[in-house]
Structure 1
Amino acid sequence: MNPALVAYVKTVERINYRVGRFAMYLLFAMMAVLLYSSATKVLQIPAIWTLEMAQFLLVAYYLLGAPYSLQLGSNVRMDLLYGRWSPRTRAMWDIFTVFCLIFYLGVMLYGSVESTVYAFEIGERNPTAWRPVMWPLKLTITVAFFLMVLQAFAHLIRDVATIRGIDLGPYPGGRQHTDAEVM
Structure 2
Amino acid sequence: MVKRVIQILDRMIERASNIALLVSGILILVMAWLSTYGVTRRYALNDPEPYSYEISTIFLLACVVLAIAGVQVLGRQLRVDFVANRFPEGVQDILLNVVVPVLALFYVVILTWQSWDTAWYSLQIGETSQSAWEEPLWPTKMTVPVGAGLLCLVLLAQLSRGVASFIRRVRKTRE
Band of TM-score, shorter chain: 0.7 to 0.9
User: How far 1:87 moved relative to its partner?
Assistant: 5.9
Which residue pairs with 1:173 in the alignment? Answer: none
Alignment of structure 1 residues 93-172 onto 2, 5 Å: 93-94=95-96, 95-165=98-168
CA RMSD of aligned residues (A): 1.9
Normalized per residue, the structure richer in helix is 2
Identify if the C-alpha distance between structure 1 residues 137 and 41 changes in structure 2 by more than 3 Å, giving closer, same or farther.
same
Which residue pairs with 2:57 in the alignment? Answer: 55
Structure 1 portions without partners, runs of 5+: 167-183
What is the distance in 2 between the residues matched to 1:147 and 1:156?
14
Query: What letter is aligned with 1:131?
Result: E
Name the count of aligned residue pairs: 166
What is the distance in 2 between the residues matched to 1:36 and 1:81?
46
Q: Residue deviations 1:27-55, cap 9 Å, x none?
A: 10110110111011111211111212111
User: How far 1:21 moved relative to its partner?
Assistant: 2.0
Aligned residues with identical type, % of pairs = 22
Q: TM-score w.r.t. structure 2 length?
A: 0.86
Which residue pairs with 2:37 in the alignment? Answer: 36
- 1:91 equivalent to 2:93? Answer yes
Max Rg structure = 2
What is the distance in 1 between the residues matched to 2:58 and 2:3?
40
Instruction: State the secondary structure of the residue aligned to 1:128.
Output: coil
User: How far 1:140 moved relative to its partner?
Assistant: 1.5
Which 4+ runs in 1 deviate beyond 4 A?
83-88
